[in-house]
């Protein structure tokens, strides 16, 4: 029997991580209520980076019914428990932003208040010692624990992830068209996108268009001019080089972000290789010097030619404009310091599915979508700026610029509140919870001047018992965990991909 409502024709322009994450999720969730067509061009290719993720991707994959071990095997993935930051506070420090909880919170006061009070009472253990994920990561250990006892994400090969999702999407009825989009045809009356015209002349019509064309932003920018908010003032890095190297040892369950005098370097261990990259500000470092620096600081034999990228930090002012939604790099970009781009794709896709219009696009859906998506982006923006602003580094013009820049009021207020009181509040379903802010603020050198008085309710013995119990629990659990590399090989070893060099 035919449905009384017309089937939605959803056209996805672009087949990178953004395009295939969207196509796979919509095809699987909407079934016959939507016809998904994806156009991509092999000759243009994808951006070829984007390997480090954050925990919500675990949920995304589960929502889509993806078998974890199968997905990890197909993408040469490893587990990730957080990010190790080297040299961000003063050049020779290190701190870890873990995905776990630290200690035990009281409803009125986070664990940091007890830890701060404990320091005053002579307890010298590091804040890090109270977090299972952090200690496990630094010991190179991992296992799935009952009741989601370890919070984790993945380090994966993004090209293979897109390929994996493509198989899934096509299995669910999405149609892929190979071809180069030569023109975005607008409806003369409404100004909406009417069709994509390929260079060989085919017209692909649709009701809703997803711009997943990466930095080119063919629909949302080049055709619809949805506007762009430039955030370079706060996030001045504008260049990156990526290259891959051979593994030199078992993969560690974390990503590294190593600060240098004009930016930072990433190291992301997968099963079969390491992803490396340098992010920098072109005002202070030229391309050749950047490449020398990266090559001088990688481990293992270099496997690929350097992939040079330029970007402008900022976001599309309207993520959903007319009948077009920007998903992925076409919607904006913030550097990958906290691995948030794939997450923003996930948020946009799930949000769109929740707001899928029955008939024509509804302006209130558009307004709601844009407000929610922008809220996510602003919160992530503030969190990233924190890494640059809260630093004691003054050893280069780059770091002096970062330390002296003005920051958004929302961030200034958060930093000040923490400095004065040790308090952090999570607002509006913010991605980064209190513990993330606490770890990064303290890691970057903001040490609270006071703590919640409720901590002093504990007598010294009780405080000692609380701190010792949590710490001992962490040590005991970590001692039972296998080495991360061993666990990955057993759970989802991708020996076949590695042997054939599939990439």
Ligand X SMILES: Cc1cc2nc3c(=O)[nH]c(=O)nc-3n(C[C@H](O)[C@H](O)[C@H](O)COP(=O)(O)OP(=O)(O)OC[C@H]3O[C@@H](n4cnc5c(N)ncnc54)[C@H](O)[C@@H]3O)c2cc1C
Q: Which residue from 75, 78, 112, 158 is in contact with ligand X, where contact means CB under 6 A?
A: 158
CA proximity to 362, closest of 189, 229, 207, 188: 207
Q: Which residue from 206, 328, 422, 485 is in contact with ligand X, where contact means CB under 6 A?
A: 328
Q: Which residue from 277, 332, 443, 493 is in contact with ligand X, where contact means CB under 6 A?
A: 277
CA proximity to 440, closest of 495, 500, 388, 375: 388
**Region of 2-10, 14-22, 68-76, 410-418 interacting with ligand X (CB under 6 A):** 14-22
Q: Which residue from 76, 213, 319, 391 is in contact with ligand X, where contact means CB under 6 A?
A: 213
41 CB contacts (<8 Å, ≥6 apart)?
178, 179, 180, 181
308 CB contacts (<8 Å, ≥6 apart)?
239, 240, 241, 287
- Contact criterion met (CB below 8 Å) for 415 and 468: no
Angle between the N-to-C axes of helices 17-30 and 56-63, in degrees from 0 to 180, rounded to the nearest 10 = 40
Report which secondary-structure segment, H or E, holds 396: none
User: What residues numbered 38-57 form the site for ligand X, per CB under 6 A?
Assistant: 39-41, 44-47, 49-53
9 beta partners: 35
Q: Which is nearer to ligand X, 8 or 166 (by Cβ)?
A: 166
Q: Which is nearer to ligand X, 83 or 411 (by Cβ)?
A: 83
- Pattern 288-327, ligand X, x by CB under 6 A: ---------------------x-x----------------
**Region of 34-42, 96-104, 384-392, 394-402 interacting with ligand X (CB under 6 A):** 34-42
CA proximity to 332, closest of 320, 341, 323, 343: 341
- Contact between 180 and ligand X by CB under 6 A: the answer reads yes
82 beta partners: 98
- Contact between 18 and ligand X by CB under 6 A: the answer reads yes
Instruction: Tell me the closest approach of the beta carbon of residue 110 to ligand X, in angstroms.
Output: 27
User: What residues numbered 235-264 form the site for ligand X, per CB under 6 A?
Assistant: 240, 242
**Region of 2-10, 89-97, 333-341, 459-467 interacting with ligand X (CB under 6 A):** 333-341
CA proximity to 192, closest of 327, 34, 11, 33: 11
Q: Which residue from 143, 174, 212, 407 is in contact with ligand X, where contact means CB under 6 A?
A: 212
80 classed as catalytic: yes
Instruction: Tell me the closest approach of the beta carbon of residue 441 to ligand X, in angstroms.
Output: 22
Tokens coding 486: 């061993």
DSSP letters spanning 213-227: -GGG-IIIIIIT---
**Region of 11-19, 112-120, 293-301, 386-394 interacting with ligand X (CB under 6 A):** 11-19
- CB count within 10 Å of CB 363 equals 8
38 CB contacts (<8 Å, ≥6 apart)?
11, 12, 13, 14, 15, 19, 20, 23, 169, 174, 175, 176, 177
Q: Which is nearer to ligand X, 132 or 324 (by Cβ)?
A: 324
Tokens coding 348: 């946009």
- Contact between 11 and ligand X by CB under 6 A: the answer reads no
Out of 8, 80, 389, 414, pick the active-site residue: 80
Length of the chain measured in residues: 503
Q: Which residue from 14, 55, 110, 140 is in contact with ligand X, where contact means CB under 6 A?
A: 14
Q: Which residue from 37, 265, 313, 339 is in contact with ligand X, where contact means CB under 6 A?
A: 339
> How many chain residues are in contact with ligand X, going by CB under 6 A?
39
Q: Which is nearer to ligand X, 118 or 263 (by Cβ)?
A: 263
Q: Which is nearer to ligand X, 116 or 181 (by Cβ)?
A: 181
Three-state SS for 70-81 is HHHHHCCCEEEC
As annotated, the active-site residues are 80
What are the residues binding ligand X (CB under 6 A)?
Answer: 14-19, 39-41, 44-47, 49-53, 158, 180-181, 212-214, 216, 218, 240, 242, 277, 309, 311, 328-330, 336, 339, 341-342, 345
């Amino acid at each position: 029997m035919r449905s009384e409502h017309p089937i939605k024709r959803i056209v996805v322009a672009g087949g990178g991580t953004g395009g295939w994450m969207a196509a796979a999720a919509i095809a699987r969730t909407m079934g016959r209520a939507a016809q998904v067509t994806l156009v991509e061009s092999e000759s243009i290719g994808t951006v070829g980076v984007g390997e480090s993720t954050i925990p919500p991707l675990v949920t995304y994959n589960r929502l889509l019914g993806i078998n974890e071990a199968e997905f990890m095997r197909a993408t040469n993935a490893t587990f990730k428990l957080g990010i190790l930051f080297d040299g961000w506070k003063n050049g020779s420090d290190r701190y870890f932003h873990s995905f776990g909880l630290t200690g035990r919170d009281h409803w009125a006061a986070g664990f940091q208040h007890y830890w701060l009070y404990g320091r005053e009472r002579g307890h010298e253990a590091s804040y890090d010692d109270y977090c299972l994920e952090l200690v496990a990561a630094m010991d190179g250990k991992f296992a799935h624990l009952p009741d989601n006892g370890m919070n984790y994400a993945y380090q994966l090969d993004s090209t293979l992830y897109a390929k994996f999702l493509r198989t899934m999407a096509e299995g669910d009825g999405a149609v892929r068209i190979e071809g180069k989009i030569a023109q975005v045809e607008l409806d003369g009356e409404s100004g909406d996108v009417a069709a994509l015209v390929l260079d060989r002349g085919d017209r692909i019509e649709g009701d809703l268009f997803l711009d997943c064309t990466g930095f080119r932003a063919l629909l949302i920018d080049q055709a619809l001019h949805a506007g762009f908010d430039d955030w370079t003032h706060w996030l001045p890095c504008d260049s990156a080089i990526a290259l891959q190297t051979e593994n030199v040892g078992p993969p560690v369950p974390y990503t590294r972000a190593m600060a240098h005098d004009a930016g930072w370097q990433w190291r992301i261990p997968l099963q079969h290789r390491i992803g490396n990259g340098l992010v920098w500000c072109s005002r202070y470092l030229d391309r050749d010097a950047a490449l020398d620096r990266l090559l001088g600081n990688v481990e293992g034999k270099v496997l690929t030619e350097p992939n040079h990228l330029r970007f402008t930090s900022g976001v599309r002012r309207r993520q959903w404009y007319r009948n077009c939604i920007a998903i992925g790099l076409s919607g904006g970009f913030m550097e990958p310091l906290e691995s948030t781009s794939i997450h923003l794709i996930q948020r946009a896709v799930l949000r769109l599915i929740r707001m899928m219009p029955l008939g024509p696009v509804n302006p209130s859906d558009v307004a709601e979508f844009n407000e929610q998506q922008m809220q996510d982006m602003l919160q992530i923006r503030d969190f990233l700026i924190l890494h640059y602003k809260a630093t004691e580094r003054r050893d280069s013009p780059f770091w002096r610029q970062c330390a002296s820049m003005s920051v958004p009021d929302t961030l200034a207020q958060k930093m000040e509140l923490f400095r004065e009181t040790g308090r952090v509040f999570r607002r509006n379903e913010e991605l980064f919870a209190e513990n993330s802010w606490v770890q990064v603020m303290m890691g970057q050198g903001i040490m609270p001047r006071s703590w919640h008085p409720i901590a002093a309710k504990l007598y010294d013995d009780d405080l000692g018992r609380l701190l010792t119990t949590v710490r001992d629990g962490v040590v005991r659990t970590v001692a039972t965990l296998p080495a991360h590399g061993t666990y990955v090989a057993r759970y989802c070893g991708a020996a076949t991909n590695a042997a054939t060099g599939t990439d």
